[in-house]
Structure 1
Amino acid sequence: MSLVVDDYTFNVEHKLPTEEKVPVMYPNTLPDVFTKFLQENRIACEIGLYYLLHITKQRNKNSLLRLLPAIKETYNDTAFTDIFLHLFTSNLTLLSEEFGSEEFCTHIFDGFFINALTKKENIHRHILRLLLHLHHKVAPSKLESLQKALEPTKTNGEAVKELYNQLSEKLQQKKASPPAAEPEPAAMDLPLYSVPTPPVV
């Protein structure tokens, strides 16, 4: 509940006029009991994960980055099930503009996905699918390091290898095609009509 209060308080603070506003920093720590409940209680874990999906769908970057470290360790690895990862990566596409930031990519990929890559193969598939949709938005330096980190091994299944090949092809096409020149806007030669001004009385 305190997370919801923090989010709404922060949002209201930003809507206040500037002369009444005191600079408020978004809280970046989580209560210890929150992470404990995520790890030990199935229902609390489900609620926490649904809340994460909710804030991601609302494009609340601050709250997402605050909660993400806590869901690395959840009850019965619920955060790494196909159902949750599918919904989570789908909602992450709504934050596509944020992937241009190196810091955001580090939190999402290195802080959450890459660390869990060895747990289950489905994580590998979901990262690759996310990158297939967002490769043009991800910071270029981060994209190169992700491509190296996500290279399939001999133990990976065919689905992972196929997704990786698709991503590699898209990245090669992106490198091969020159950046499109922006078309110059057409000159708007509109005649100005003279309008008589009304007499001042």
Structure 2
Amino acid sequence: MMPGNAQGNGAQPRNPLEPFQRQFQALLDKSTPHIPERWFAWTTIFFIYLLRVYFLEGFYIVTYALGIYNLNLLLGFLTPLHVELQQDDEPTLPSKSDEEFRPFVRRLPEFKFWYASIRSITVGFIATFFSAFDVPVFWPILLLYWFILFSVTMKRQIQHMIKYRYIPFSLGKKKYGKGGGGGGKSNK
């Protein structure tokens, strides 16, 4: 038996948090297809955070940082992953590949967007328990600055969408007619 190794087979010691991490990951995996329920949970947690900030009458810097971070996440969610779209300054010759259909692949998938946002709200909520993060500031200035930043950023994003002709949202496949498929033939 080797010194410092209880098992004697050279394996690394087991992480004591591993069962909890596996359970948490299983919970995340189970929640993946339940999009409306996840966003309802996000709304609830965000509303609880806003109530805490409102009743404490402080932590506006934390809330501002939370807003900036979530705005950045939103931009990642709305932006396509295509490398060609990142080269805005270089002129290129038109080609047939410019006209072919490409599915919209997000830079930040919806689940990762939701999960990162939930984590940020949780960190912000925990930060409200420490007075070191309660920096006195005139909050209307921060709110005004955030709205200006949001509007300028969204204007740029919309211009980018128009320039490259993409829509980041879809409502699924188009449905034609009243029947359940079959190409219009009846199964009698």
Shorter-chain TM-score above 0.5: no
By percentage of residues, which structure has more helix?
1
Which has the bigger relative contact order, CA under 8 A and spacing at least 6? 2
* TM-score, length-scaled by structure 2: 0.29
